Amino acid sequence: MRLKAFLLLTFFSIFINPFTSFSQEEAAVGIDQKINNFFKPIADFISGIVFYDISISGHSVPIVLIILLGGATFFTLYFRFPNIRLLELLLEL
């Protein structure tokens, strides 16, 4: 009887117990999850503003696309079309 109990206890501790202890580790919250939980509302708020859709002639366009196109147009005009004007320099390299 003692041998049977010993074998059963050994089997349980070797094969079953590790699986139950792994499931308990998921309940613990690490520092990375705490940081993520702290910044998630802030990131959701900012992404809601940046990726807000504006309807332009029936198409939804995110604000970030308008900002990027505006910046590209401004700097292309400000630097007097460097992608075309400096093409000769590029070909010399």
- pLDDT, greater one: 15 or 21: 15
Whether 36 maps to a domain, the answer reads: no
State the alpha helices, DSSP H only, in 12-85. Answer: 17-25, 31-50, 63-78, 82-85
Tell me how crowded residue 74 is: count the other CB atoms within 10 A of its CB. Answer: 10
Whether 33 maps to a domain, the answer reads: no
Domain count along the chain? 1
pLDDT the model gives residue 18? 59
17 pLDDT band, cuts 50/70/90, is: low
| Structural domain of 9 | 2-25+43-92
Mean pLDDT within 64-82:
95
pLDDT the model gives residue 90? 87
Q: What is the pTM of this model?
A: 0.52
R_g of the chain, CA atoms, integer Å: 30
**In sequence order, what are the residues at sequence separation of 6 or more whose Cβ sits closer than 8 angstroms to the Cβ of residue 60?**
53, 54
Mean pLDDT within 62-87:
94
pLDDT of 27 above 90: no
